[in-house]
Structure 1
Amino acid sequence: MRTSLFIIICLLAVKLANAQKLPAVQILPVRAPANVKVDGKAEEWGEMKAYNKATSIAYTVANDESNLYLIAKITDTEIASKVIRGGITLGVNLESKKNTKDAPSVTFPKYENEKQVLIIPTRPMRTDSFVMIRNTMISERLKDIGVSELQGLPNGLISLYNDMGIKAAARFDADMNFIYELAVPLKYLGLNVADKKKFNYNVKLTGIMANGGQVHTLNGRDDVLMFTSASGQVLGLGRNDPRNMELNYPTDFWGTYTLIK
């Protein structure tokens, strides 16, 4: 038991050390591999290009002739739960501004306000059966993508299985790392690979508050918080501390990117 615990601690230390070597924001553009497939498996991407401490995700932004991609690898199971409950929003601002108002954006997963927000247990188990159960729940319940201000498309929800070329996938790998992939056709973002102009992108982990959720103190106790959906359904309880605020409220960062041919 002590040996196993020591090995786990060493592995976590190695992961943390590797993450700290990466820049907080991706520096250079990346050409998407020819064999890219949006399936929640990131083998073709290799090592992520940045690790952002504000959101606790390692990520890569990339492009090919047709699409802009966001790939994220999340080792913190609580952050993975935050993404599953509230989604990641990728926003693009073409006007050299760091402002998401009226900017094209895509969110996955996205839920209707009155639907129950999916919560994945965060026990640090890594058995094959546990991973399979979590991934089955994800495939059954993460069905919609939110789109806003995309050129030629109305705002709202679209099916994960749409015919517009917007693709998304998420799943846990064998080590319980949460892998997230998103592909958005450049034409919907007002981008063209022939245009070398830089643009700003925003990556936001929205948390359950973005889906109309609310936070309450539990029976007047200031040390315990209760999280509810927009309809008042109880989603969970948590301590009143900065970590719970991080998990339930939006966290985001900005980067700059130039499409690569």
Structure 2
Amino acid sequence: MKKLSLLTVLFMLARTCIFAQAFDPKKLESVQKESVFAPSPVKIDGKLNEWNNNFKAYNRNTRLLYILSNDEKNMYLVVKSTDFTTKAKIIAGGVDLIVNTEGKKKDKDAPSVTFPVIEHPERLGGNISERFENRNAGVDTELMNQLHQRTIIAAKQIRVLNIKPITDTLISIYNTDGIKTALNFDTDGGLTLEMSIPLKYFNLTPESTKEMAYHIVLNGFQPEWGGGPSGPGGNGGPNTLNMFDLMTPSDFWGKYSLAKK
């Protein structure tokens, strides 16, 4: 029942997507080519107001719109997805940002930040899941808004690896280490996510000129049961969850050098 409940929650969240972009994301580069100095000020709230929807790439492997940028103190990752399965993958397993400052496509020992880390995502739906499962028609907007809010509230942890000053693997979004994250849902049904990580955790200063390699990974849903995918959604078309995709991590690599003011 727990596994079915989780898949129901993911299916509900996926159903909220209404793709209303003002531009065609497929016209963007698949991997960001330029360095971007972040706008000022940046507020990490998942609302993306200061970014003006000015995404620098649409990665086709992960179906993510994204911007990687920096200022003199922090590196920022901003992502958005209106794709059904991609939103579910983010909620189920989070987004990894891994940075190899030697410019090598290697994750070993590289600083890594993952957000969101949601404990017991199968509990997000609660009685909402039961009400959803009893419906034969479309999804109720009020139910979706409730589920969005529960998801935002549940996204309270960040996984941190290979950042020496931080000894805990899991830290709160309210940490005192300077790592800031936020998840939200915008008016077109897109899931939006922001990360801000101090440059010092990558052993970088504002004057650094070396090219680094970054790895963005969607971990997806890792079920506890054996065998193939099952549960709601299936692989029936563009408006349903692709279960095989949901359970398979997706990723891409890029190169980045710090932008100068």
* Class of the TM-score when normalised by the shorter of the 2 chains: 0.7 to 0.9
Q: Contact 1:215 / 1:225 at 8 angstroms: preserved in 2?
A: no
Residue identity matched to 1:35: P
- 2:230 maps to 1:214: no
- 2:30 maps to 1:24: yes
Q: Deviations over 1:198-249 (max 9, x none)?
A: 100010001122xxx33533xxxxxx624xxxxxxxxx45647993222112
Where 1:249 maps in the other structure, the secondary structure is coil
For 1:246 and 1:17, the matched residues in 2 are separated by 25
Q: Contact 1:91 / 1:103 at 8 angstroms: preserved in 2?
A: yes
Residue number in structure 1 paired with 2:15: none
Residue number in structure 1 paired with 2:11: none
Gaps of 5+ in 1: 1-10, 218-223, 227-235
Q: Contact 1:81 / 1:119 at 8 angstroms: preserved in 2?
A: no
- 2:40 maps to 1:34: yes
Residue number in structure 2 paired with 1:107: 114
Using CA pairs below 8 Å that are at least 6 residues apart, which structure has the higher relative contact order? 2
Q: Contact 1:111 / 1:117 at 8 angstroms: preserved in 2?
A: no
Higher strand share: 1
- 2:77 maps to 1:70: yes
Aligned residues: 229
- 2:232 maps to 1:225: no
Query: Structure 1 residues 249, 27: closer, same or farther in 2, change over 3 A?
Result: same
For 1:89 and 1:132, the matched residues in 2 are separated by 26
Query: Structure 1 residues 111, 105: closer, same or farther in 2, change over 3 A?
Result: same
The match for 1:168 among 163, 168, 181 is 181
Query: Structure 1 residues 148, 124: closer, same or farther in 2, change over 3 A?
Result: farther
Residue identity matched to 1:214: E
The match for 2:66 among 40, 59, 62 is 59
- 2:52 maps to 1:48: no
- Give the structure-2-normalised TM-score: 0.79
For 2:41 and 2:23, the matched residues in 1 are separated by 30
Residue identity matched to 1:258: S
Query: Structure 1 residues 17, 174: closer, same or farther in 2, change over 3 A?
Result: closer
Identity %: 38
Gaps of 5+ in 2: 1-17
Residue identity matched to 1:249: T
Residue identity matched to 1:160: I
For 2:122 and 2:162, the matched residues in 1 are separated by 24
Q: Contact 1:62 / 1:70 at 8 angstroms: preserved in 2?
A: yes
Residue number in structure 2 paired with 1:95: 102
Query: Structure 1 residues 20, 190: closer, same or farther in 2, change over 3 A?
Result: same
Query: Structure 1 residues 45, 16: closer, same or farther in 2, change over 3 A?
Result: closer
For 2:99 and 2:138, the matched residues in 1 are separated by 35
Residue number in structure 1 paired with 2:10: none
Query: Structure 1 residues 19, 27: closer, same or farther in 2, change over 3 A?
Result: same
Where 1:134 maps in the other structure, the secondary structure is helix
Residue number in structure 2 paired with 1:233: none
Q: Contact 1:77 / 1:124 at 8 angstroms: preserved in 2?
A: no
Residue number in structure 1 paired with 2:242: 243
Equivalent residues in 2 for 1:133-148 (5 A)?
133-148=146-161
